[in-house]
Structure formats: C-alpha cells, structure tokens
Amino acid sequence: MLWLFDRAFIDAAFWDKKKRRLGSTMITRMKSRLRVDSTEEIPVTDAPYNEGVIADLRITLSSSREPWRLVTFRTRRGRTVEFLTNDFSLLPGVVAFLYARRWDEEKCFDTWKNDVAQAEAWGKSLTAIENQIRLLPITHLLLAMAMPTLLGEAVRR
C-alpha cells in the first residue's frame, strides 16, 4: 500500500514500522525541520518520465533507523519541491507525479468544501445542498471529457 499525505504527518518511526510489518510505503513533502544525517546520490536516468528531477538521494534521518529517499523536483513553473519517501522501487519522476496528483485531488476537495458551504449553496435546504454536491463531480467529469475536444478545435482554428 502506498500512502500520499500532507507533511504534517511525518513520523519516521511510525512509517518504519508500517513498512516492516505491512510493506506500506509513503510519499510526502519534505519538512524543513527534519534533520538529515547523511546523503548518498542515486543516479537518475535521462528519460521523459524523470523530466524535472534535479536529484534523487538516499538519506538517513536522525529520527529513523531505516533508509529514506529525498527526490528534488523542479516544476514547469520553475518552483523547486522536495519529496520524502520510504519507497525505493518507484522512479523519481513517478514520485513527483503521484504527489502532484494527490495535490490536485486535495485542491478539488478544498474547493468543494469552501465553495459548497451553506452560505454559497444555491439553496439552504439539505436537499438543495445534496443536489449541488452531486452535480459537482458530474460537471467536473463532463468538462474533463470535453476539454481535449474543445482544446483540439481551438488549436486547429
């Protein structure tokens, strides 16, 4: 099982146990307060799926006895992001991709939570709010399906 979560939940000893007992691994953003005791570079293959990867390091954390991995990634907008994981089987570009998908999901739910608040709803009754909540994923999926076609037509014009 692979967990993707917010960096507020980094407890190295907890994740060491999860990996030993259940084979569970995790990916999160690196926390500036974590102390890294040592680093060893892992070679990054020059392949399209690793585009944006600046560095891949095997590290030891002062709070853990197990090896960890720190992937440094530069986004298309030039922002540098560090991902912490205890999974060494994933390619570094895949680590960044998976966390980006997690972030997209969180932003979607955050939007729902904030924009579908009762003050923002089309109606105040429970039924009106439930209907609006049901329409959001339907609208999202329909737009996601239509966008390639719409963008393709705009490019051809």
**What are the structural domain ranges in the chain?**
2-102, 116-156
> What would the two tokens of residue 36 be?
């890294």
Contact 12, 67 (CB under 8 A): no
- Please give the CATH topology (third level) of the domain spanning 2-102: Ribosomal Protein S8; Chain: A, domain 1 (3.30.1370)
Q: What is the CA radius of gyration of the chain?
A: 20
Q: CB under 8 Å to 58, separation ≥6 — which residues?
A: 39, 40, 41, 42, 67, 68, 69, 88
User: What string of pLDDT tens digits covers the 157 residues of the chain?
Assistant: 888 887 777 788 899 999 999 999 999 988 888 888 888 999 998 889 899 999 999 999 988 989 999 999 999 889 999 999 999 999 999 999 998 888 767 776 666 666 655 556 677 788 887 887 788 788 878 888 887 777 765 444 4
**First CA to last CA across the chain, in angstroms?**
46
User: pTM surpassing 0.75?
Assistant: no
